[in-house]
Copies of this chain bind each other. A is one copy, B any other.
Amino acid sequence: MDRRVTKKDDGTSGKERPTLKTLAFMTGLGVTTVSRALKDAPEIGAETRRRVQLVAKQIGYRPNRAGVRLRTGKTNVISLVLNTEHELMSFVSDIIYGVTEVIADTPYHLIVTPYSRSQDPLDPVRYLVETGSADGVIISRAQPNDPRARYMLERGIPFATHGRTDMGLVHPYHDFDNYAFAGEAVRYLAGRGRSRLALVTPPVGLTYHGHTVNGFADALSEVGASEVPFNTVSIDQSIEQIRMRTAQLMRRKDRPDGFVSSAAAATLAIVAGIEDAGLKLGRDVDVVSKQSSELLHLFRRELLVVNEDFRLAGSELARAVLGWIGGADPGSLQSLSTPSEVLAYRG
């Protein structure tokens, strides 16, 4: 389909979207001059510059993305790579909003690149890099030895990870301090007289699984509480699985009197399992859980919660990627978010 209206667009055809040529015609300048004037190049006279920018604003000139991208290779796109099965629901929503918030007044667009359970997590990243579809990439579910991070570092494409890696390679990340979270949770439970604690871990293989486990273990020995092993369960299992396993656990006589849970959805299942076993939350057992939206206290007011802000994570990750694209030192684009105190229901 050829959309031409006149044989040779002199920029006067009105209806069409204005281009540099349109601006050049209107200002009586050359296309090159207009291009440079718009990006404040120093060799353009101050008045010319102002004039061009004024006209551009007046007629609503917007650079053609395809033109820029073809010429410069710059896509003005950042891609968020998400697992279609295992991401937390609120995570997806909030992180997207966090990212869009930051890129709102930049020329960047956000594309969502999904991958499914069956795929190698490296696939979508490889696709993005090979096709040059984005200037920067955000990935979640970071692993200690993360092939995606390694790959992108090799290829020199800016990226940021949600969660840290542990490969001795430096790259931007944003992470929630899950070591601190687990520690706080244990100390809080100990403060309420709980001494036999079970941990519902993040998915094995992800970096923050280790952080959480360590924080839990270190705090346990600090307060002199003991762990009730619950290794068969992690937060990306199905609600039914977690519920069933929890009920099983709670029917044993060496059952825990406290839980630390790394995700709200898992917590719902844990509570259901506890109640299936005929026990009562707050009396027989306490549960400290992370949550990303303020819903757990509605669910059971006895729940003890720590908030994790995924929207903040999205913003930080976007800032990090943009920073790296902008030439900043990747090592300076790392942030760690400190957990709030454990919150009990008030009122």
Contacts and interface: CB of A to CB of B under 8 A. Distances in A.
**This chain's copy number in the assembly:** 2
Contacts of A131: 62, 65
Contacts of A112: 96, 100, 110-112
Q: How large is the interface on A (under 10, 10 to 19, 20 to 34, 35 or more residues)?
A: 35 or more
A133 B89 CA distance: 28
A215 to B, nearest CB: 27
A293 B93 CA distance: 14
Contacts of A65: 69, 131, 133
Given A62-B130, A65-B131, A92-B92, A299 B87 contact: no
Interface of A: 1, 3, 17, 60, 62, 64-67, 69-70, 72-73, 75, 77, 84, 87, 89-94, 96-97, 100-101, 104, 109-114, 130-133, 239, 243, 265, 268-269, 271-272, 293-295, 298-299
Given A62-B131, A93-B92, A299-B268, A239 B101 contact: no
A273 to B, nearest CB: 10
A84 B93 CA distance: 9
Given A92-B96, A298-B269, A299-B299, A72 B1 contact: yes
